[in-house]
Chain A
Amino acid sequence: MKRQRRDWGVSSARGQQSWHALREQTHKTPGVKSLTVKRRQIFLYLKGALLGIVGIVIIGSGALWVGSQLQEDRSKGALADSKPLASIRYKTNGVLSHARLGSMISVSTGTRLIDVDIHAIKRDLESIGQVKQATVERDLPDTLRIQLQEHKPILRMVIENAAGEKKLRMVSRTGEVFEALDQPPDFVRTLPYLGPFQHNDGSYFPLGDMEQVANLLNTCEVNYPNEFQKWNVVLLTRYRGQPGLPGEVIEVRTKEGDSVERLIFSASFDFEKQLDRLRYIREVSSAMGDPLVRADFSMNNKAVVEFKSGRNKLL
């Protein structure tokens, strides 16, 4: 039998000075979390993280699938849109002419753009020593876009092949040695020759840390252009490409008329200071009327200077 009971009505105090006001205040201060709650939170966190990972995997897989479908659709669309190759657009940061590049790549006009093997073209172009990097793109419906980055020469050198034939090659600041193609002859003439370091096995390659050599040349060309014009040969016979080591020097030979000067720069010290000292030595030489024969800056604070008269000085 069910007990007879009326609903008692809610007598909770509300309004002024009610405990309900405390609920709002306490809501702002954190409650005391027990180990049970912390465990539950960690469990929920891990569960959430796991679900999140699963979700990401599912979404990622879905996105990949959709992406592949789109790619496929795009390829199909591209195939449908593709027309015979009409033009090739070149863009380079160097000097290679379009005509030369055209002769280097094996694409015949009339080939459908979609059938052009852009990977083969890239390979062909990057096989040219002067080309640092090539980018080949199809520009639908009928254009091939080629972008090139070329090595810029800082020195030139003469090499001799097995048959005794001599050939002129360029050297970039990264040490690449390549055949000069379409380089303006006036520019090539300004480049000093390079006498490389000979390794123990008798070989000259690879060239060690040409970056430091390029810095010396660049500092001179920018700050003392007249001096740079005199620089004829850069000899690296005592430079293995390890500027931190003692005895690593870069020798420059100048040629003015019949006189040849030997300038020996330390690869370890500040080139600006060494070149400033050279400027001073030239002033002294001029004032003395005694031409310079040799200046060695490898001692850092002083340069050992030898004049044509046979006098030696520390300047």
Chain B
Amino acid sequence: MSSPRIVAAVEIGTSKIAVLLGRLDGSTKVDIVGHSLSTSKGVKKGEIRDLRAVSDCVHSALSSAAGKYHIDEVYLALSGRHLEGNFNVGTATVSDAASRVRQIDVNQAIADAKRRELPENRSYIHHIQNPFCLDGKVVDSPLEQQGQRLEVGYWSVHADTPLIRNYLRVIGGYGMEVNDIVISSLASGNILAEEVEKDAGVLVIDIGGGTTDWVLYRGGFVVRTGVVSVGGDHITNDLCAGLRTGQKRAEQIKVEHGRAFHDREDRNEKIWLVGDYTIGDKEFPKSAATQIIEARVTEIFEIVKAEIKKADFYKVDDIASGVILTGGTARLEGLEQVAERVLGLSVRLADFEPGLDAELRRPEYTTVIGVLDYARVDQDRVDQSNDGMGILNGLMNVLGIQRKEASY
């Protein structure tokens, strides 16, 4: 068992910065030892616009979460419209005389799938493996099976290089390096969807402040991820314009009186614009707000649906487990109904692991909980790699030789 390490999972969102601190001791358990949720500044639609302001907020959030602990590693959640993906299929002709698949064939297929070159200023974040196919049939593990042609698909997510650099600089300013980056949709999806749901097909939608991240599972694999640059903040902005009120009051109306769909009864229900009943304050029908909200929420789900359709994955039977909604905006009343209507799928709101601290049972923490879980799995890999290569690594370090990193 390795020595305990304090790992920080950080999500730099458009409207909030979430930090979760976990102690990893090499076991499957993660002890959560600190957390903080603070307002974000300098981020728009998931992209850093003001490096200084973001650094101030992130460092403050890290310090607040860390308390007496010293952070050893940082894992970062990444979102934003700049995230894109491509699906690549790698192939290999089975080289064995007896047509049995060997490790070399597997490696060749994997390498072939990952070889696509990106344009300048793009960097890969994830290479997410899809199932192997041997002579066109899906196989769990192709090794030692008989066949002629091996195929494997990879959903590769890439991001804008200068933007990643900015994120690294923000964390670098705190005197830390980023250990790994996880896209937000993947982090949320993995923590919220059960294995049976992933096998049956499930869509996880995380509606944040500036963006909506989604991930689609099919047959237990991540087949697509995406980011829509519309989120809860856009609903607030619409309310500002539509009700001619300030940002703060619009947000308050959304949280206190907002509903994702418009109901005929809303015309009769009145809402005070300011709420202090003084001169200048005025009443307006609730329907004015709900109509605005419904329009925007509908748009979000329509965009997600269009993207899934475009990827040719919109088959109701293949998403049998339906949709899981999370993110701060998921607390909006009636969101499931709108999602169900637009997407034509069964929808449920995210629920959390039993035993999770009450304070962390909030949609805002979903992503960072997922990132921390990713760190736990990554930790196992690091530990295994260190256990096996410790002496060799030490020797190589002494000799100044750099070990070539595995490319899969």
Contacts and interface: CB of A to CB of B under 8 A. Distances in A.
A36 B56 contact: yes
A270 B169 CA distance: 70
B366 interface: no
A16 interface: yes
A33 B175 CA distance: 8
A7 B182 CA distance: 15
Interface stretch (A17-25, A45-53, A272-280, A301-309): A17-25
Interface string B53-67: 001111110110000
A13, A25, A29: residue with the most chain B Cβ atoms closer than 10 Å: A13
Contacts of A7: 377, 380
B87 to A, nearest CB: 14
B168 A26 contact: yes
Interface in B163-191: 164-165, 168-175, 177-178, 180-182, 186, 190
A12 to B, nearest CB: 5
Interface of B: 51-52, 55-60, 62-63, 114-115, 117-118, 122-129, 156-159, 161, 164-165, 168-175, 177-178, 180-182, 186, 190, 194-196, 222, 353-354, 373-374, 377-378, 380-381, 405-408
5 contacts: A15-B405, A16-B124, A31-B171, A34-B58, A36-B56
A48 to B, nearest CB: 14
A94 to B, nearest CB: 65
Contacts of B378: 10, 12
Contact of A8 (B125, B177, B374): B374
Nearest to B116: A17
A40 B59 CA distance: 10
Given A31-B169, A33-B55, A12 B405 contact: no
A195 B171 CA distance: 85
A26 B169 contact: yes
Closest 4 CB pairs of A and B: A31-B172, A31-B173, A15-B407, A13-B124
B55 A32 contact: yes
A31 B374 CA distance: 25
B156 A13 contact: yes
A110 interface: no
A65 B6 CA distance: 43
Counting chain B CB atoms within 10 Å of each CB, the highest count among A3, A5, A33, A34 belongs to A34
Contacts of B380: 7
A36 B57 CA distance: 9
A255 to B, nearest CB: 87
A178 to B, nearest CB: 71
A18 B124 contact: yes
A25 B168 CA distance: 10
Given A22-B168, A29-B169, A40-B63, A4 B195 contact: yes
A14 B175 contact: no
A185 interface: no
Interface residues of A, number: 36
A21 B169 contact: no
Contacts of A287: none
Contacts of B381: 10
Contacts of B63: 36, 40
A27 B172 contact: yes
A23 B177 contact: yes
A36 B178 contact: no
Contacts of B165: 22, 25-26
A310 interface: no
A73 B223 CA distance: 82
A32 B195 contact: no
Given A19-B164, A35-B59, 19 more contacts: A1-B354, A3-B194, A8-B373, A12-B182, A13-B156, A14-B407, A16-B407, A17-B122, A22-B123, A22-B168, A23-B168, A26-B169, A30-B169, A31-B168, A32-B51, A32-B52, A34-B56, A36-B59, A36-B60
Interface string A86-112: 000000000000000000000000000
Contacts of A19: 123-125, 159, 161, 164, 181
Contact of B59 (A6, A8, A34): A34
Contact of B175 (A6, A10, A25, A37): A37
A33 to B, nearest CB: 4
B181 A12 contact: yes
Contacts of A14: 405-408
A311 interface: no
Contact of A17 (B124, B169, B178): B124
B180 to A, nearest CB: 5
B6 to A, nearest CB: 16
Contacts of A3: 194, 353-354
Contacts of A35: 56, 59
A12 B180 contact: yes
A185 B121 CA distance: 98
Interface in A40-81: 40
Given A2-B354, A11-B128, A37-B173, A21 B181 contact: no
Interface centre among B161, B171, B172 (most CB of A within 10 A): B172
B55 A17 contact: no
A9 interface: yes
B123 A17 contact: yes
Contacts of A1: 354
Interface in A132-178: none
Nearest to A40: B63
Contacts of B374: 8, 10
Contacts of A17: 117-118, 122-124, 158
Contacts of A16: 114-115, 117, 124, 407
A29 B161 CA distance: 15
Given A10-B377, A17-B122, A36-B60, A4 B172 contact: no
